[in-house]
Amino acid sequence: MSVRFYDGFEFFVLAAILSAPAIWLGVTERRIRGYGIFASIVVILFVLKDSPKSILLLAAYLAYELLLVRLLLYLRSRGKAGKGIGRLVIALALLPLILSKLAEQLNIGGFAILGLSYMTFKSVQVIIEIGDGIISDVDTADYVYFNLFFPTILCGPIDRSRRFSADADSVMPKSEYLQLLGDAMTRFMTGVLYKFVFANLLALAGTDRPYIYGVYMFFDFAGYSLMAIGLGNIWGIKTPDNFNKPWLSVDMRDFWNRWHITLSTWLRDFVFSRLLRSCMRAKLLGGDRVYQACMCLMANMLVMGVWHGLSANYIAYGLYHGVLLALTELYQKKSGFYKRHKNETAYKAVSWFITMNLVMLGFEIFAGHII
């Protein structure tokens, strides 16, 4: 029987056994990074032990992305890494994910790589920041650890390389590590409750029912994220939060600031902001920044949908949220009614009700219940 991340007795026993030395290192104020790399490789090999091909594909992918990183660093050091080269390297970094999505859509098996979607975001972030001059050197061990860090390799949360490496390379005082360890246990057990109790109860109730699927998605994914963050904390990595009370959102912008936060902020920083700057430089749509932002929001969320997959429901989900965010932007920036009433309790209550229904409709699209 195959072993899966955060599912089954074998995985949790292995994670517990491997975590014990990490806790000892943290409590005795020693650096955990070296052991963390070793433990991540052990977990990945254990999960993929029945598929040597998957191990080889993962190793080949990591070597390929590292080669692209080294190539761009070399070209930049020689003054030969212009915008065109940077874009080409980004396209090459995205190529394995694109081919994987196409293979999945065409039902061509044998090309799945563990954690490919999330590792691609990590690699592209590093490549973009090399091109921007923010990153001038990449330590191979740090890069490997950043990508293979087993608590988050499969489904995030999506960390940033410089933040991750700062945690990995540091040694915490005992008191700080013990506080982080306490937070880790709380997060992990809350995640267990969310994923294995609440999400399972909702699954039994039937996720094909309106509204139930959206709530199920929250408890399942938020539960996973909390377990990943908690386990990451044990290794001294302060993995960023992925959810912040999304059911309190009063508009669609607010929702995406609370839901899958590391995905939405990654897209904001590396897709939306860059598209908007390009639109502003080109003075598209008459130079109106609000209309430019609306267009970029739709493109940004289309990328989000395609990242999930090339099926019609995922593409429609991205377009749906892109349109909603564009309408929100237009309404909030252009409407006097919004500016007059946005702080009123009654207005917020109505806005919350509309937002929640729009969110739940989106989940129905995502699940393929509508498309």
Active-site residue, from 308, 321, 341, 369 = 308
What's the sign of the alpha-carbon dihedral 155, 364, 247, 319? positive
Query: Is the preceding peptide bond at 157 cis, omega within 30 degrees of 0?
Result: yes
Single-letter amino acid code for the residue at 371? I
Across the chain, what does the average pLDDT equal?
A: 95
> Has 308 been annotated as catalytic?
yes
What are the pLDDT digits (tens) for 120-142? Answer: 999 999 999 999 999 999 999 99
314-365 pLDDT, tens per residue?
Answer: 999 999 999 999 999 999 999 899 999 999 999 999 999 999 999 999 999 9
Sorted by sequence, the CB contacts under 8 Å of residue 164 that are 6+ apart come out as: 142, 145, 146, 149, 237
Q: pLDDT tens, 268-319?
A: 999 999 999 999 999 999 989 999 999 999 999 999 999 999 999 999 999 9
First to last CA, the chain: 34
Using one digit for the tens of pLDDT, what is the confidence trace for 160-192? Answer: 999 999 999 999 999 999 999 999 999 999 999
pLDDT (0 to 100) of residue 2 = 61
Question: How does pLDDT run across 96-116, given as a tens digit for each residue?
Answer: 999 999 998 888 876 789 999
- Inform me whether the pLDDT recorded for 79 exceeds 50: yes
Give percent of the chain with pLDDT exceeding 70: 99
* pLDDT exceeds 60 at position 1: no
pLDDT exceeds 90 at position 158: yes
Q: b/e map of 91-110 (b: 16 or more CB within 10 Å)? A: ebbeebbeebbeeeeeeeee
How far apart are alpha carbons 302 and 325 in whole angstroms? 12
Give the residue carrying structure tokens 């990183």.
69
3 burial (CB, 10 Å; 0-12 / 13-18 / 19+) is middle
Residue 210 has pLDDT above 90, yes or no: no
Longest CA–CA separation in the chain, Å: 62
Percent of the chain with pLDDT over 90: 91
pLDDT of residue 44: 96
